[in-house]
Amino acid sequence: MADQSHSKPIHHREYEKKQHREEMKQQVLTFALMILFTLVAFGMVIMEVNSYFIIPTLIILAVVQVAFQLYYFMHMKNKGHDMVAVMMYGGAAVAALTIITFTSIIWW
């Protein structure tokens, strides 16, 4: 009887099971997409695709993979990670602006 007083209701346990199942599906799908992106990038490099096409494509694939890593595997989508996300995305924005600024200063 003491065990039942501290256990969660059945509907709450079922809801948690469903949430965990959905999260696992999302993580497996994301992992499969990241493997596919890596294989596509590797294939383009092996086939020696034109550098004017391959460089932007590789950068886009890398950015998408970083977003997947942060959002799904580092659990940035969960509650309580708002300030960490703001700091990380803010730092990424400052880094991107710095690179763009110095690139444009050097090339112009």
Residue 105 phi, psi dihedral angles, 5° rounding: -65, -40
pTM of the predicted structure, to 2 decimals = 0.63
* Residue 49 forms part of a structural domain: yes
Per-residue pLDDT reduced to its tens digit, 26-64: 888 988 999 999 999 999 999 988 888 888 899 999 988
Q: What is the pLDDT of residues 93-105, one digit of tens each?
A: 999 999 999 999 8
pLDDT tens digit sequence for 60-78? 999 888 888 877 777 776 6
Distance CA 51, CA 57 (A): 10
85: domain range?
78-107
* pLDDT value at 79 more than 80: no
Return the number of other C-beta atoms located less than 10 Å from residue 37's C-beta: 17
Rounded Cα distance between 97 and 30, Å, is 28
In a domain, 8, yes or no: no
Report how many domains make up the chain: 2
**85: number of Cβ within 10 Å:** 14
Contact 22, 2 (CB under 8 A): no
